[in-house]
């Protein structure tokens, strides 16, 4: 029997509890032994909970209990999640998590600590909610040099954009619904300003390259500047706008990455990914394009990935899983101008657009012109910004 603990009884933590209880027989089959939940750590009171005796407010109960072999850290945030995780790993316990902020910030250190202590630090739920993507990237695509990753990595923003476009909901109303559905972060700025997607593309790029990609070096823009007019104009060009985490891996070992709203032509693999769904498109030099698709946020989908990691730790007792990365000696971030994109531009009808070179898909819509530019660098677009209303990169 494997003894387990949950740290944090919020949306994901209660989902982990539910799955452990409801799918107990299946989990025993998968893990090869029963999973016995011994503690739930939370600072709040849960006096009405049917198993209130499991709750503790003291992490030392878990750290000092030699019987506990695996802990799900689903409390979120950096502190005290970092300190708790580090202590648990050093005490020889496996830790699994959905905490992308922690993985993106302290992943290299925690992965190394796990290895030193002969245990695992697994974080499948940190990217794409319930979608299996990190293990397939690390294991099933191990034969490939990864060339590109483009993902719809934030369920909340995808849900908001979808509700605004399809159901004409206001931004605020769509955000409220996302919060009510348990998709949004405690501070929704993490979602709508792109920080959450930034952590996730950093994790994907780190795993793909084997070296930590520092999320603070990733240019990050959210969806707050996207208007319904932008969306309608994109539709005129048979395209949609999605918040994309993008990474490209250059032969010199540098990695270009950004998070930004991007325009995607209808019919391409990511264009039909709507609602709270996420998708991660990965291009490998041997396999070509593969896409991982599924529910990117929410209680049970995210908990599904957390519990699968618990099972993996039990099955691989005493073995280190090769899912991780190390810190590089120096930054591996490419410069913002090392990659050119074509842009979807909306400009005033009288604006001089000759500086954009040969534009395509030109349309005159009311008092403005919309078109697609030749590929240009971020700095070139920065110079042109004064004469454009909207400039959104095209995902090719």
Q: Kindly list the catalytic residues.
A: 200
Phi, psi values for residue 14, rounded to 5°? -70, -30
Site string (177-196) toward ligand HSE, x via CB under 6 A: ------xxx-----x----x
Binding range to ligand HSE, per CB under 6 A, among 15-23, 105-113, 154-162, 364-372: 154-162
156, 283, 342, 369: which one binds ligand HSE (CB under 6 A): 156
> Residues 287 to 316: which contact ligand HSE by CB under 6 A?
296-297
> Residues 226 to 265: which contact ligand HSE by CB under 6 A?
none
Binding range to ligand HSE, per CB under 6 A, among 57-65, 149-157, 333-341, 356-364: 149-157
Residue among 285, 292, 304, 165 at smallest CA distance from 235: 165
Burial of 232 (0-12, 13-18, 19+ CB in 10 A): exposed
Phi, psi values for residue 394, rounded to 5°? -100, 135
129, 261, 295, 328: which one binds ligand HSE (CB under 6 A): 129
C-alpha distances (whole Å) from 38 to each of 57, 60, 70, 291 are 13, 13, 10, 38
Count CA atoms closer than 13 A to 256's CA, side-chain side.
16
Q: How far apart are CB 357 and ligand HSE at their closest, in Å? A: 37
Question: Total number of residues binding ligand HSE (CB under 6 A)?
Answer: 11
CB of 69 or CB of 154, closer to ligand HSE: 154
Q: How far apart are CB 198 and ligand HSE at their closest, in Å? A: 12
CB of 191 or CB of 309, closer to ligand HSE: 191
Q: Which residues are CB-contacts of 284 (< 8 A; sequence separation ≥ 6)? A: 141, 143, 144, 145, 146, 147, 290
Binding range to ligand HSE, per CB under 6 A, among 150-158, 304-312, 327-335, 336-344: 150-158
CB of 85 or CB of 154, closer to ligand HSE: 154
Instruction: Return left, alpha or beta for 191; rule: phi > 0 is left, psi -120 to 50 is alpha, else beta.
Output: alpha
Q: How far apart are CB 126 and ligand HSE at their closest, in Å? A: 7
Question: Under the criterion CB under 6 A, does residue 212 sit at the interface with ligand HSE?
Answer: no
Q: How far apart are CB 202 and ligand HSE at their closest, in Å? A: 13
C-alpha distances (whole Å) from 37 to each of 6, 21, 41, 66, 72 are 8, 9, 11, 14, 11
3-class state of residue 19 by DSSP: helix
CB of 155 or CB of 324, closer to ligand HSE: 155
Q: How far apart are CB 321 and ligand HSE at their closest, in Å? A: 21
87, 108, 154, 390: which one binds ligand HSE (CB under 6 A): 154
CB of 156 or CB of 304, closer to ligand HSE: 156
DSSP letters for 45-81: --TTSTTGGGEES-HHHHHT-TTEEEEEE-S-SSTTH
Burial of 302 (0-12, 13-18, 19+ CB in 10 A): buried
Residue among 301, 296, 216 at smallest CA distance from 259: 216
Strand pairing report for 35-41 and 360-365: unpaired
CB of 160 or CB of 334, closer to ligand HSE: 160
CB of 15 or CB of 284, closer to ligand HSE: 15
Longest alpha-carbon distance in the chain: 73
Q: How far apart are CB 296 and ligand HSE at their closest, in Å? A: 5
Q: How far apart are CB 11 and ligand HSE at their closest, in Å? A: 9
Q: Which residues bind ligand HSE (CB under 6 A)?
A: 129, 154-156, 183-185, 191, 196, 296-297
């Amino acid at each position: 029997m494997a003894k387990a603990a949950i740290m944090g009884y919020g949306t994901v933590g209660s989902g982990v509890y539910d799955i452990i209880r409801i799918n107990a027989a299946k989990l025993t089959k998968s893990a090869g032994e029963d999973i016995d939940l011994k503690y739930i750590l939370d600072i709040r009171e849960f006096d009405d909970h049917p198993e209130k005796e499991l709750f503790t407010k003291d992490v030392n109960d878990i750290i000092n209990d030699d019987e506990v072999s695996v802990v799900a850290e689903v409390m979120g945030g950096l502190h005290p999640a970092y300190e708790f995780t580090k202590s648990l790993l050093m005490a020889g316990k496996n830790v699994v998590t959905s905490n992308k902020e922690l993985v993106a910030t302290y992943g290299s250190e925690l992965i190394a600590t796990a290895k030193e202590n002969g245990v695992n630090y697994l974080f499948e739920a940190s990217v794409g909610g319930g979608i299996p993507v990190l293990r397939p990237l690390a294991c099933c695509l191990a034969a490939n040099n990864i060339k590109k990753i483009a993902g719809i990595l934030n369920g909340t923003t995808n849900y908001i954009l979808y509700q605004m476009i399809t159901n004409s909901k206001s931004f605020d109303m769509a955000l409220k619904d996302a919060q009510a559905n348990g998709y949004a972060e405690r501070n929704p700025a993490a979602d709508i300003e792109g920080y959450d997607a930034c952590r996730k593309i950093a994790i994907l790029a780190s795993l793909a390259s084997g070296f930590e990609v520092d999320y603070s070096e990733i240019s990050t823009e959210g969806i707050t500047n996207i208007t319904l007019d932008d969306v309608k104009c994109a539709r005129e060009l048979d395209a949609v706008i999605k918040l994309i985490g993008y990474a490209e891996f250059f032969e010199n070992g540098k990695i270009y990455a950004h998070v930004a709203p991007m325009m995607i032509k209808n019919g391409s693999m990511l264009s039909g990914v709507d609602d709270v769904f996420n998708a991660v498109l990965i291009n490998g030099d041997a396999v070509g394009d593969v896409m991982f698709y599924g529910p990117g946020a929410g209680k049970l989908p995210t908990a599904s990935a957390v519990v699968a990691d618990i099972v993996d730790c039990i099955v691989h007792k005493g073995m280190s899983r090769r899912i991780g990365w190390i810190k590089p000696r120096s930054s591996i971030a490419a410069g913002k101008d090392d990659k050119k994109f074509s842009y979807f531009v909306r400009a005033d009808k009288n604006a001089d657009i000759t500086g954009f070179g040969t534009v395509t898909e030109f349309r005159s819509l009311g008092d403005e012109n919309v078109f697609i530019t030749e590929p240009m660098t971020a700095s070139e677009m920065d110079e042109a910004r004064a004469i454009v209303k909207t400039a959104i990169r095209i995902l090719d």
